[in-house]
Amino acid sequence: MKLRRSIFLAVLLIFVTTFAITYCNHRVDEEEPVETLNPTEDTSAFVNLTDVVPDAILEIRYFSTYNFVGERIRGYEEPTALITREAADSLQAVSQEVMKLGYRLKVFDAYRPQMAVDHFVEWVGRENDTKMKPYFYPDLEKNVLIPQVYIADKSGHTRGSTIDLTLFDMNTEKEVDMGGTFDWFGPESHPDFCGNPETGEYTGEKVKSSRTITPEQFANRMILRKAMTNHGFQPEPTEWWHFRLKNEPFPDTYFTFPVKRLPAK
């Protein structure tokens, strides 16, 4: 009798364990799907941004040496901005909105090829290459840039519907003062630095920083944020200049073609 009971309990334990493992795996698959990456060089869904938004000002930082690496980034063959047609159409609406307020859009980066992202990761491995540290990451050591996710091996820009931009004041003929530069690595770049971006309220609250921004600088960030969200863009929680089209057409595709002006369509 004891032997039969032991066998029965052992079989029951195996059954319960198998069921639990199967169920847990099923739940993980449902809640955390594995990302599908489809690299391609197909440019057919892309446009030259200025063909759709001719009022946009381009300052493509990764074509120049004025960026956190300090050299032209691989894959930027011309100082132009490429983006999916869907994102370009939404940006046209953004441009029309801010122009009524006396601004133009100034673009630092749009589509970014995977080879450029790889260049960033390779640069992090060059321990002694810190020439741009005083300008972009003075408070951080270079070896924390990947662990703290300032640099990653994949970027939403490579999917073609993400853009980095600011506002240009047509009256002063200068960039609007946002209280910090594009690609500054630190909490000062967060949209919630010194304020609540959901309400637009300036609080002066700063986290892990000896710096601050003024109420006017925070308000300027909110002008850009409101215009972008009004037309279907999702803000990035750590970069006031970074926005992704919510309904991006290629959420699982990473493009690999270089940045250079596309033939007229």
Q: Could you read off the pLDDT of 94-150 as tens digits, one per residue?
A: 999 999 999 999 999 999 999 999 999 999 999 999 999 999 999 999 999 999 999
E strand or H helix at 4: helix 2-31
CB atoms within 10 A of CB 259: 24
Q: How far is CA 102 from CA 48, 165, 171, 223, in A?
A: 24, 16, 7, 12
- Averaged confidence pLDDT in the chain: 88
Q: Between the CA atoms of 252, 255, 259 and 261, what dihedral angle is there, to the nearest 10 degrees?
A: -90
Q: For strands 195-196 and 233-236, give the pairing.
A: unpaired
Beta-carbon contacts of 50 under 8 Å, excluding residues fewer than 6 positions away, are: 56, 58, 80, 81
Active-site positions read: 239
The pTM score is 0.85
Pairing of strands 103-109, 57-58: parallel
In tens, the pLDDT along 59-108 reads 999 999 999 999 999 999 999 999 999 999 999 999 999 999 999 999 99
**Calpha distance 265→263 (Å, rounded):** 6
Question: Which region among 39-43, 143-147, 215-219 has the lowest average model confidence (pLDDT)?
Answer: 39-43
* 206: confidence class by pLDDT, cuts 50, 70, 90: confident
Percent share of the chain, pLDDT over 90 = 82
pLDDT at residue 213 is higher than 90: yes
Q: What is d(CA 126, CA 65) in angstroms, rounded to the nearest whole number?
A: 17
User: Residue 149, Cα to own-chain centre: how many angstroms?
Assistant: 11
